[in-house]
Amino acid sequence: MADPLLFNPRTYDPAHFDPETRRLLRATVDWFEERGKRKLIEDYRSRAWLADFLAFSAKEGLFATFLTPASAADGHEDKRWDTARIAALNEIFGFYGLDYWYAWQVTILGLGPVWQSDNAAARARAAELLAQGEVFAFGLSEKAHGADIYSTDMLLEPDGDGGFRASGSKYYIGNGNAAGLVSVFGRRTDVEGPDGYVFFAADSRHEAYHLVKNVVDSSKYVSEFRLENYPVAAEDVLHTGRAAFDAALNTVNVGKFNLCTGAIGICEHAMYEAVTHAHNRILYGRPVTAFPHVRRELTDAYVRLVGMKLFSDRAVDYFRSAGPDDRRYLLFNPMTKMKVTTEGEKVIDLMWDVIAAKGFEKDTYFAQAATEIRGLPKLEGTVHVNLALILKFMGNHLLNPAEYAPVPTRLDAADDEFLFRQGPARGLGSIRFHDWRGAYDAYAHVPNVGRFREQADALCEFVTTAAPDEEQSRDLDLLLAIGQLFALVVHGQLILEQARLTGLEEDVLDELFAVLVRDFSAHAVELHGKDSATEAQQSWALGAVRRPVVDDARSARVWERVEALSGAYEMAP
Ligand SMILES: Cc1cc2nc3c(=O)[nH]c(=O)nc-3n(C[C@H](O)[C@H](O)[C@H](O)COP(=O)(O)OP(=O)(O)OC[C@H]3O[C@@H](n4cnc5c(N)ncnc54)[C@H](O)[C@@H]3O)c2cc1C
């Protein structure tokens, strides 16, 4: 029987969506299965461009249906921006290959500045290009500047006619080889400071657009391109001034939400392979899975993966219910980005320790999973950048709750139009949250939830009594260690909320929280060793270390679920 918590193509039927969404998701799975594992891996190894897949998407109207918001859909009833089904598709792409996911992901990023723009002509053009099956690109990063997007050297010189001539280069730009429309970020030469920023739409087939190279060795086309005197007409301008900067950040907000479900798909496929291999490999007359440490590693991997799924599914609800008066998604979003994707790395590491040499073999999906899982924490802002962002919310989240109406599960066929009118990206420190304790109280009877709650309460005490002083608040090394502790509390919160909404088995929840207790202890010890930690902080840190509640019978029951994954899925050859 298929595990109800994991995606399995053999039994996948997304009946909770409307008929066309259900058809498209299933058709995508079928396309990959029909293509087969051998071809999928061969394309990965030979770095083939994704032309066949994009032709399938164009024929079915996959990207066009999923990525055209209702406001640009010209009455087409299936087109809307629906984060729940976008998340479902991310998982499928991650499951079959991150290269497919990436072409779709950067299409989403490229569309961000367009769907946020008032420029009706550009919006209509984008909708038409999508309908024709074109992909898009997002030209923000530059070779010299990395995360420092303030320092763009893409320069726009006014042409005297309301337009510009753009010159400069961009680096690490996905789909830059093929995009029908590239959203490019730059600044005017005649205006100083933030008022000079411009987002504009470029065409990768224009003669003044020069594709330099693919900067990575992969089917992903992560391009360097150069514009030389590229004519930017007034109708190509998407945003100007501070709004252009906000459009960049708000686009990344929408885009980076896709990383968590991409990571989940990768881990799921790898897990079927890993458990099947380990369970069928006989050493010293017994299956490898008879070793207690192997059971522990695979069980940890499984519950970490379940945690990734629960957190991400619940974050979808907050994302879709967001509005000007409810910006809680701005915390849960960087959490999906840095926490869920780094959990993905741990899941793969745990499994790779077990399957060892098998994980290198060229006919496995695992070999690419082990490589590709590393990328997700580094895209759309690094772990550091997202953790620093998360820290802005810590005081209000832990200590200063506010009342909100409950947020229900959001699988309805709504258009998430707020995502394209998020407004100024400022004021994060004043965002309030519902009380995190409610989710924990509901499961106080689960031993390891109770144990973890002691650690969460201790963190509140830390923030109240031993918070970093002014000098320490410039020590990002120390702050990030605190951020990891806070991130665990938020991770646990949404996991519990989703567990409640879906009736998760308490054995699994307890086993998962045993892992979170150990993680909190490990991060506390890390904080204890930080250069600038004060004596009070050091003693707090050691005092927050806890041992999870051990229950052999529970662990054995969860192990049975893991063991049952052996042979549960193998991709069609
Ligand atoms: C495969 C791939 C595809 C990509 N696709 C695109 C794309 O389509 N479009 C696009 O525009 N970009 C794209 N990027 C760029 C990506 O967004 C950048 O990698 C990212 O912005 C970080 O830049 P960097 O890697 O150069 O690191 P740097 O900015 O050079 O950072 C160096 C170090 O400083 C730390 N750091 C920097 N700023 C801060 C801060 N404020 N707080 C704390 N720590 C900080 C970082 O965490 C890192 O450890 C892609 C990158 C890759 C690898």
Domains of the chain (ranges, CATH numbers): 19-135 (1.10.540.10), 137-242 (2.40.110.10), 256-400+434-563 (1.20.140.10)
- Reading phi first (left if > 0) and then psi (alpha if -120 to 50, else beta), residue 303 is in alpha
**C-beta 113 within 6 A of ligand 1:** no
- Cα of 147 from ligand 1 centre, angstroms: 5
- Cα of 382 from ligand 1 centre, angstroms: 6
Distances (CA, A) of 554 to 59, 72, 510: 49, 52, 8
pLDDT in tens, 281-293: 999 999 999 999 9
Nearest to 255, CA basis, from 428, 423, 87: 87
Strand bridging mode 164-174 / 155-158? antiparallel
Distance CA 397, CA 384 (A): 20
**C-beta 218 within 6 A of ligand 1:** no
> Which residue in this structure is represented by tokens 């790779």?
352
Alpha helices in 321-382 (DSSP H): 329-335, 341-355, 366-372
pLDDT given for residue 150 in this prediction:
87
Cβ within 8 Å of residue 445, ≥6 positions away: none
Q: Which atom of ligand 1 is nearest to the CA of 176?
A: 8
pLDDT in tens, 67-107: 999 999 999 999 999 999 999 999 999 999 999 999 999 99
Q: What is the pTM of this model?
A: 0.97
**C-beta 136 within 6 A of ligand 1:** no
pLDDT given for residue 423 in this prediction:
85
Burial class (CB in 10 A: 0-12, 13-18, 19+), 65: buried
Q: Report the amino acid identity of residue 79.
A: K
- Cα of 90 from ligand 1 centre, angstroms: 21
Q: Block means of pLDDT (10 residues each) for the chain, length 573 residues?
A: 94 98 98 98 97 98 98 96 98 98 98 98 98 98 90 96 96 97 98 96 98 97 98 97 94 96 98 98 97 98 98 98 96 97 98 98 97 95 94 97 98 97 88 98 98 98 95 95 98 98 98 98 98 97 98 98 98 96
**C-beta 375 within 6 A of ligand 1:** yes
Could you give the dihedral angle defined by the CA atoms of residues 486, 490, 496 and 498, in that order, rounded to the nearest 10 degrees? -160
Distance CA 283, CA 289 (A): 10
**C-beta 480 within 6 A of ligand 1:** no
**C-beta 147 within 6 A of ligand 1:** yes
Give the residue whose CA is nearest to atom 19 of ligand 1.
Answer: 379
**C-beta 173 within 6 A of ligand 1:** yes
Q: What is the number of other CB atoms lying within 10 angstroms of the CB of residue 34?
A: 10
Give the residue whose CA is nearest to atom 1 of ligand 1.
Answer: 222
Distance CA 40, CA 373 (A): 17
